[in-house]
Amino acid sequence: MEIKDRSKLLTEQRNPRTINIDSKTTLEIVDIINAEDARVFSAIHKERQNIAKAVDLIVDAVSKEGGRLIYVGAGTSGRLGILDAAECPPTFSTDPNMVIGIIAGGEKAVFQSVEGAEDFPENGAKDIQQKEVNHRDVVVGITTGGTTPYVMGALFEAKKRNAKTVFLCCNLETTPNFEVDAIIRPIVGPEVITGSTRMKAGTVTKLILNMLTTATMIKLGKVYENLMIDLKASNAKLTDRAERIIMTVTGIDREDAKKLLAAAFGNAKVAIVMQKLGLDYAEAKKRLDANGGFVRKVLQQ
């Protein structure tokens, strides 16, 4: 898809509610931005079924050996994908290769704008090839305007390789000219500053990516009740959280939780099963493995 005149795109139009924002007081500017941001939540609500469809695609992929969730974007969209991917291993103890982000322009573009990197669909296709994308993967193309050549090239190449594909954009006017498996289209309207999609469009993207990975991890058994029981106790903060999670679920005190976590080799999930069912590490891990890692299933047996 090639659109040379983007003026008709909703994300490029002027917002009538903010035309005089440059004449406002500081507090009025803040209030205007806040009022526009509030529109994000209803936009997400309208797309909840499409988001759920994408989650189910991702769960089916990553629950199988070698399956991955791959975000592809340019600029803000690419950075948000990389951010969401980077936060999965410490939060859910996932393999760093399970959720990955690709950005037009490569690693340099994460920290500094690489203008023009998004203009070539062949570069998107090449990056998909380099990641050896295949039928076990889900590729989410993030393009708020819905026209980014790099992202469209990446999605098309992913589809050729039989990966599942998800198209995430904030415009009604744009759709891939090839089949995709799911479309998520939150309509947040024109930006506070015309064309600055790092604002509402960026916010809605961040929230949806949070939903995709968090809902996926819940469905994979990495959450018990509302506790991140599969976190990796890799620093003082996360070790403290792991101990508090064990205390909350089992009712034991801090010192016993510390000892139990050590006996479980830092695995809060195994520690909980050990304490609740009176098992040693090997048997607790065995039962978890037999139940797909779901604590609730083990405790209910």
122 annotated active-site? no
The letter for the amino acid at 215 is A
Which member of 12, 87, 173, 283 is catalytic?
Answer: 87
243 annotated active-site? no
pLDDT per residue over 141-183, tens digit each?
A: 999 999 999 999 999 999 999 999 999 999 998 899 999 999 9
User: What local confidence, expressed as pLDDT, does residue 88 receive?
Assistant: 94
The continuous run of DSSP H or E covering 126 comes out as: helix 121-130
Which member of 12, 28, 65, 118 is catalytic?
Answer: 118
* Distance, CA of 212 to CA of 293 (rounded, Å): 20
Give SS3 for 75. Answer: coil
User: What local confidence, expressed as pLDDT, does residue 117 receive?
Assistant: 83
User: What local confidence, expressed as pLDDT, does residue 76 receive?
Assistant: 94
pLDDT per residue over 197-212, tens digit each?
A: 999 999 999 999 999 9
User: What local confidence, expressed as pLDDT, does residue 201 receive?
Assistant: 95
User: What local confidence, expressed as pLDDT, does residue 8 receive?
Assistant: 80
**CB of 61 closer than 8 Å to CB of 55:** no
Domains of the chain (ranges plus CATH)? 6-219 (3.40.50.10490), 236-300 (1.10.8.1080)
User: What local confidence, expressed as pLDDT, does residue 3 receive?
Assistant: 53
User: What local confidence, expressed as pLDDT, does residue 1 receive?
Assistant: 46
Residue 148, by phi and psi: left (phi above 0), alpha (psi -120 to 50) or beta? beta
Give SS3 for 99. Answer: strand
Give the chain's mean pLDDT.
94
User: What local confidence, expressed as pLDDT, does residue 5 receive?
Assistant: 67
Blockwise average pLDDT, block size 10, the chain, 301 residues: 68 92 97 96 97 98 94 96 95 94 92 84 96 97 94 97 97 92 96 93 97 97 92 86 95 96 93 96 96 94 83
* Distance, CA of 290 to CA of 277 (rounded, Å): 15
